[in-house]
């Protein structure tokens, strides 16, 4: 029998019996969806494990009480607005309790007073709220930006002494809590806007990618306007299917204006509404409704974009006028496949990259003149070529990457993302002078394109310009406050190159926290520890690399992203050899 101290999270569904009585099959399906879309990802992200699922709730264990409470808040934050088409009384609401206590572990299950207290605390939480024990509160006090109300000692069934409890009501109060990584961002010196995910009001989940695609198209087009500061889609995606406070969005994203809208389809007709709001006051600056044939959706997004630019009184250059007028594709199937495929490729894992590449190949076949599809394909092929075991023929994948990049730039030679990806490909070819020139052109054209800026930073790093790479990566992070983990990885690599070991370790560990399945941050840890003579730590990092990717090798890693400076290249090789990473 094993005993240990742990943080326990217990959750249950408010009014479970009533909901099951109204619609048993529908309620079970909604609960499965809730667990898959919100609960399990939140627990995994916070390094917890689901111990067991019950019909009306679940039990989870965490090594850190801070992570457990933040997980509870993450879950409850994501709940409002999840089921907007249902009356409030029929929506699924959760109560969550968190305790820090001693548990007994048997065969993967957990028992003991620590578990019992957590289960009783969730009964004290408000619907949509969180209740924590005094011990848990003491451990998180000053570490979490949330105000808990002391509700005093509580008599807990089968527990001899009263347990002090603290309660946090979610709902409007929780939506006002800052998101991780947003801490009062300063406003840019130009009109700044965040585009919220357009709501799908069709009642058809198949239309979700339509709504997401419109959102992405508007963001992509606005980001090409030099007079605007536009937040990247990665950051605003967190608001999908949530009721939001526009003022809070403005504070979290550091912008003056917020665009929100909706999509509703009926047969072959499509209705899109959009409104531009001043974040500090909630004042509507502009609102419009568009009715189009479904096949005209791509023209529709152009209309919305032009009116936003006009409403913000931004003056366009001649080139920007031309780019706003340009169409990427008229084929809606190619358009949808491209957005879906590109999202998968950006996740940086073997299975998602391969699935995304297959979708992008279909998109390119449907419209051979769609630059975005070819540009995303270039990235997919490049990732397959540079990662050991991702392609049956890395050489052929690399050739395909170059061919796709050629096609993309022949169609649109001024696209910042495609130029930045081309610069990264050129570093792999060891054409560092050419890569640097292309990266600098991409940065001149990128304006608010966070992804293009971050890709160009990879080239700056490979060319030995680590300080400039840090500057550009931090700009990409400001444009995308909820940035993807590999932005942190880029900082870790640059800090290593600059000899800033502690900063490199901190950035690498933050990357691992954000995505535990990435092997590359462990490479940075292995190099830093090896150079510091901390061999046991370096070898532990190597064990983690090989646990995640058994085929990972130093040779493939060094070939995949070579460095211009031979001394730095040899420095990497020597550190990885000392750490024990196989060649």
In the prediction, which pLDDT does 286 show?
A: 80
pLDDT at 80 over 80: no
**pLDDT above 50 for 183:** no
**More confidently predicted of 286 and 435:** 435
Is the model's pLDDT at 79 over the cut of 50? yes
Give the least confident one: 91-100, 105-114, 265-274, 392-401. 265-274
Region of 412 (left: φ > 0; alpha: ψ -120 to 50; beta: rest) is beta
- For domain 192-325, the CATH class is alpha beta
Q: Distance between CA atoms of 466 and 344, rounded to whole angstroms?
A: 28
State the first-to-last Cα distance of the chain, in angstroms, to the nearest integer.
43
Predicted confidence (pLDDT) at residue 182 exceeds the cutoff of 50 = no
Handedness of CA 297, 301, 303, 307 (dihedral sign): positive
Query: Do 336 and 297 touch, CB atoms closer than 8 A?
Result: no
Share above pLDDT 70 across residues of the chain, in percent, rounded to a whole number = 86
Q: Are 489 and 455 in contact (CB under 8 A)?
A: no
- The more confident residue out of 324 and 545 is 545
- Whether 549 has a pLDDT exceeding 60, the answer reads yes
Residue 90: predicted pLDDT: 67
**Percentage of the residues of the chain whose pLDDT score is greater than 90:** 39
Please give the Cα distance from 85 to 82 (Å, whole number).
9
Indicate whether 184 pLDDT > 70.
Answer: no
Q: Where in the chain is the domain with CATH 3.40.50.10610?
A: 192-325
Average pLDDT over residues 213-222: 81
d(CA 67, CA 73): 10
More confident residue, 513 or 409: 409
Mapped onto helix, strand or coil, the DSSP state of residue 130 is strand
Quick check: 328 pLDDT over 60?
yes
The confidence score (pLDDT) of residue 92 equals 87
Q: How confident is the model at residue 180 (pLDDT cuts 50, 70, 90)?
A: very low
Beta-carbon contacts of 24 under 8 Å, excluding residues fewer than 6 positions away, are none
* Cα(576)–Cα(531) distance, integer angstroms: 9
d(CA 42, CA 97): 15
Residue 203: is it exposed, middle or buried by C-beta count within 10 angstroms (0-12/13-18/19+)? exposed
The pLDDT score that the predictor gives to residue 317 is 59
pLDDT (0 to 100) of residue 319: 59
User: pLDDT category, 30, cuts 50, 70, 90?
Assistant: confident
Q: Which residue in 539, 523, 534, 536 sits closest to 580, CA to CA?
A: 539
Q: Are 576 and 554 in contact, with CB atoms under 8 Å apart?
A: yes
pLDDT score of 266: 66
Q: Which of 95-99, 240-244, 352-356, 523-527 is predicted least confidently?
A: 240-244
At residue 173, the pLDDT reads: 33
| C-alpha–C-alpha distance, residues 311 and 306, integer Å | 9
Interatomic CA distance for residues 112 and 260, integer angstroms: 48
Give the model confidence (pLDDT) of 152-175 as tens digits. 888 777 677 888 889 885 543 333
**Radius of gyration, CA atoms only, the chain:** 25
Distance in angstroms (rounded) separating the CA atoms of residues 455 and 401: 15
Beta bridge partners, 13, equal: 94
pLDDT of residue 146: 73
Strand partners, 111: 104
Q: Residue 372: is it exposed, middle or buried by C-beta count within 10 angstroms (0-12/13-18/19+)?
A: buried
Distance CA(370)–CA(140), nearest Å, equals: 51
Structure tokens at 18: 């009533």
pLDDT tens figures, 220-248: 878 888 888 999 887 887 787 766 788 88
Decide yes or no: CATH 1.25.40.10 for domain 484-583: yes
Can you tell me the distance from the alpha carbon of 204 to that of 206, in angstroms, rounded to the nearest whole number?
5
Q: Which helix (H) or strand (E) holds 165?
A: strand 163-168
For residue 177, pLDDT beyond 70: no
Residues of the chain with CATH 3.30.70.1230: 2-175
What is the number of alpha carbons within 13 Å of residue 244 lying toward its C-beta? Answer: 31
What does the DSSP 8-state code read for residue 3? Answer: E
Q: Looking at residue 350, what is its pLDDT? A: 84
Please say whether the beta carbons of 229 and 188 come within 8 A.
yes
> Which stretches within 332-465 are classed as H helix?
332-345, 350-366, 371-386, 394-411, 416-428, 432-446, 450-462
Mean pLDDT, range 316-324, rounded to an integer:
54
527 CB-near residues (< 8 Å, 6+ apart): 496, 538, 572, 575, 576, 579
Which of the residue ranges 299-303, 318-322, 488-492 has the most confident prediction, judged by mean pLDDT? Answer: 488-492
Q: How far apart are CA 365 and CA 376, in angstroms?
A: 14
User: Which pLDDT score is estimated for 343?
Assistant: 81
CA angle 188, 190, 194 (to 5 degrees): 70
pLDDT score, position 576? 96
Fold classification of 2-175 is Alpha-Beta Plaits (3.30.70)
Residue range(s) of every CATH 1.25.40.10 domain in the chain = 484-583
Over range 303-322, report the average pLDDT: 62
- pLDDT exceeds 80 at position 302: no
Going by C-alpha positions, the residue among 445, 486, 476, 254 that lies closest to residue 347 is 486
- Please name the residues in contact with 177: beta carbons below 8 A apart, sequence gap of 6 or more: 73, 77, 145, 146
> What gap in Å lies between CA 56 and CA 40, rounded to an integer?
15
Section 448-467 average pLDDT? 95
Pick the range with the lowest mean pLDDT from 143-152, 323-332, 540-549: 323-332
Report the chain's mean pLDDT, rounded to a whole number.
84
More confident residue, 267 or 547: 547
C-alpha–C-alpha distance, residues 234 and 493, integer Å: 22
| Mean pLDDT to the nearest integer, 310-336 | 63
Say which residue, 105 or 468, is predicted with more confidence.
468
- Residue 88: the pLDDT is 53
Q: Taking a C-beta distance cutoff of 8 angstroms, is the pair 31, 60 a contact?
A: no
DSSP for residue 237 = G
pLDDT for res 174? 33
Residues 313, 315, 321, 327: is their CA dihedral positive or negative? negative
Question: Secondary structure of the chain: what % helix, strand, coil (to 5)?
Answer: 55, 15, 30
Output the pLDDT for position 68. Answer: 94
What mean pLDDT do residues 414-439 have? 95
Q: At residue 372, does pLDDT exceed 80?
A: yes
DSSP string, 102-116: EEEEETTEEESHHHH
pLDDT band of 295, cuts 50, 70, 90: low
Residue 504 has pLDDT above 50, yes or no: yes
User: 281 in helix, strand or coil?
Assistant: coil
């Amino acid at each position: 029998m094993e005993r240990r101290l742990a943080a326990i999270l217990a959750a249950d569904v408010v009014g479970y019996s009533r909901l099951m009585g109204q619609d048993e099959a529908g309620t079970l399906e909604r609960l499965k969806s809730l667990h898959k879309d919100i609960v399990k990802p939140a627990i995994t992200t916070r390094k917890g494990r689901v111990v067991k699922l019950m019909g009306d709730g679940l039990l989870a264990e965490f090594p850190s009480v801070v992570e457990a409470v933040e997980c509870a808040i993450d879950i409850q934050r994501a709940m409002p607005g999840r089921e907007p088409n249902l009356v409030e009384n029929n929506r699924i609401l959760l109560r969550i309790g968190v305790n820090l206590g001693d548990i007994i572990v048997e065969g993967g299950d957990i028992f003991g007073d620590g578990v019992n207290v957590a289960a009783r605390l969730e009964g004290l939480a408000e619907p949509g709220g969180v209740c924590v024990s005094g011990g848990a509160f003491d451990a998180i006090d000053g570490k979490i930006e949330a105000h808990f109300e002391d509700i005093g000692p509580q008599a807990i069934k089968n527990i001899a002494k009263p347990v002090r409890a603290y309660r946090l009501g979610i709902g409007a109060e929780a939506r006002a809590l800052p998101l991780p990584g947003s801490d009062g961002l300063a406003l840019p010196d130009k009109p700044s806007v965040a585009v919220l995910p357009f709501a799908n009001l069709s009642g058809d989940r198949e239309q979700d990618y339509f709504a997401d695609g419109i959102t992405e198209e508007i963001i992509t087009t606005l980001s090409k306007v030099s007079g605007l500061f536009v937040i990247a889609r990665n950051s605003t995606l967190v608001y999908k299917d949530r009721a939001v406070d526009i003022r809070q969005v403005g504070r979290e994203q550091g912008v003056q204006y917020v665009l929100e809208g909706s999509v509703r389809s009926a047969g072959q007709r499509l209705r899109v509404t959009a409104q531009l709001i001043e974040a500090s006051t909630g004042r509507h600056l502009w609102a419009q409704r568009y009715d189009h044939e479904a096949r005209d959706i791509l023209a529709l997004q152009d209309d919305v974009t032009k009116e936003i630019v006009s409403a913000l009184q931004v003056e366009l250059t001649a080139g920007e006028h031309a780019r706003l007028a340009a169409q990427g594709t008229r084929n809606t199937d190619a358009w949808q496949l491209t957005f879906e495929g590109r999202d998968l490729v950006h996740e940086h894992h073997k299975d998602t990259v391969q699935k995304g590449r297959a979708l992008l190949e279909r998109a390119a076949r449907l419209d051979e003149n769609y630059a975005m599809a070819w540009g995303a394909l270039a990235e997919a092929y490049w990732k397959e070529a540079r990662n050991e075991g991702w392609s049956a023929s890395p050489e052929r994948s690399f050739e395909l990457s170059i061919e796709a990049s050629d096609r993309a730039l022949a169609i649109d030679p001024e696209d910042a993302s495609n130029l930045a990806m081309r610069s990264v490909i050129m570093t792999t070819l060891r054409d560092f002078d050419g890569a640097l020139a292309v990266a600098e052109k991409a940065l001149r054209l990128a304006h608010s394109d966070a992804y293009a800026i971050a890709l160009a930073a990879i080239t700056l790093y490979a060319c030995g310009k680590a300080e400039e790479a840090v500057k550009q990566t931090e700009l990409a992070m400001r444009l995308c406050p909820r940035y993807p983990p590999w932005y942190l990885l880029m900082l870790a690599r640059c800090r290593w190159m600059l000899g800033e070991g502690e900063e490199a370790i901190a950035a690498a560990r933050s990357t691992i926290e954000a995505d535990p399945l990435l092997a590359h941050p462990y490479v940075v840890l292995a190099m830093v520890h090896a150079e510091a003579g901390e061999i046991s730590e370096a070898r532990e990092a190597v064990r983690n690399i090989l646990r995640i990717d058994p085929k990972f090798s130093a040779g493939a890693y060094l070939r995949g992203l070579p460095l211009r400076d031979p001394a730095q290249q040899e420095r990497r090789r020597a550190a990885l050899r000392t750490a024990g990473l196989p060649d």
